[in-house]
Amino acid sequence: MDEDENADPLDALGLNKLFSEFKEKYVQSGFEADGISTEFGKCVRQVLWRLATEGCNTVNKSITVR
Protein backbone atom coordinates (compact mmCIF):
# COMPACT_ATOMS: atom_id res chain seq x y z
CA MET A 1 0.00 0.00 0.00
CA ASP A 2 2.91 2.36 0.66
CA GLU A 3 3.93 2.13 -2.99
CA ASP A 4 0.47 3.24 -4.10
CA GLU A 5 0.59 6.29 -1.83
CA ASN A 6 3.80 7.46 -3.50
CA ALA A 7 2.76 6.48 -7.02
CA ASP A 8 2.42 9.24 -9.58
CA PRO A 9 -1.26 9.34 -10.59
CA LEU A 10 -0.20 10.44 -14.07
CA ASP A 11 1.75 7.20 -14.46
CA ALA A 12 -1.16 5.14 -13.18
CA LEU A 13 -3.44 6.57 -15.86
CA GLY A 14 -0.82 6.60 -18.60
CA LEU A 15 -0.86 10.40 -18.75
CA ASN A 16 2.91 10.80 -18.42
CA LYS A 17 3.23 8.86 -21.68
CA LEU A 18 0.58 11.07 -23.24
CA PHE A 19 2.44 14.19 -22.07
CA SER A 20 5.72 12.83 -23.51
CA GLU A 21 4.04 12.20 -26.87
CA PHE A 22 2.57 15.70 -26.77
CA LYS A 23 6.02 17.20 -26.12
CA GLU A 24 7.50 15.22 -29.00
CA LYS A 25 4.81 16.40 -31.45
CA TYR A 26 5.05 19.96 -30.12
CA VAL A 27 8.80 20.01 -30.83
CA GLN A 28 8.34 18.37 -34.25
CA SER A 29 5.84 21.08 -35.15
CA GLY A 30 8.68 23.59 -35.31
CA PHE A 31 8.63 24.94 -31.78
CA GLU A 32 11.85 25.16 -29.83
CA ALA A 33 12.72 22.10 -27.80
CA ASP A 34 12.55 24.03 -24.55
CA GLY A 35 9.26 25.65 -25.51
CA ILE A 36 7.31 22.98 -23.67
CA SER A 37 8.76 24.24 -20.40
CA THR A 38 7.00 27.54 -20.93
CA GLU A 39 3.74 28.44 -19.26
CA PHE A 40 1.79 26.52 -21.94
CA GLY A 41 3.60 23.28 -21.19
CA LYS A 42 3.20 23.80 -17.46
CA CYS A 43 -0.51 24.40 -17.96
CA VAL A 44 -0.91 21.18 -19.97
CA ARG A 45 0.86 19.17 -17.29
CA GLN A 46 -1.18 20.82 -14.53
CA VAL A 47 -4.45 19.93 -16.28
CA LEU A 48 -3.31 16.33 -16.70
CA TRP A 49 -2.28 16.20 -13.03
CA ARG A 50 -5.63 17.58 -11.88
CA LEU A 51 -7.49 15.13 -14.11
CA ALA A 52 -5.57 12.28 -12.55
CA THR A 53 -5.93 13.44 -8.96
CA GLU A 54 -9.25 15.27 -8.78
CA GLY A 55 -11.34 13.95 -11.65
CA CYS A 56 -12.98 15.52 -14.66
CA ASN A 57 -15.70 17.50 -12.87
CA THR A 58 -13.23 19.57 -10.85
CA VAL A 59 -11.05 20.29 -13.87
CA ASN A 60 -14.01 21.24 -16.06
CA LYS A 61 -15.22 23.76 -13.49
CA SER A 62 -11.82 25.42 -13.23
CA ILE A 63 -11.03 25.80 -16.93
CA THR A 64 -12.05 29.09 -18.48
CA VAL A 65 -12.00 29.86 -22.17
CA ARG A 66 -10.25 33.08 -23.05
Q: Is this structure's pTM higher than 0.95?
A: no
CA 19 to chain centre: 6
Query: For the chain, what are the domain ranges?
Result: 2-62
Q: What is the pLDDT of residues 16-63, one digit of tens each?
A: 787 777 777 766 665 555 555 566 777 777 777 777 777 655 555 555
pLDDT category of residue 15 using cuts at 50, 70 and 90: confident
The candidate with the shortest Cα–Cα distance to 48, out of 7, 24, 25, 14, is 14
Residue 66 has pLDDT above 60, yes or no: no
What DSSP character marks residue 7? S
Q: Do 35 and 27 contact (CB within 8 A), yes or no?
A: yes
User: Positive or negative, the Cα torsion across 14, 50, 33, 66?
Assistant: positive
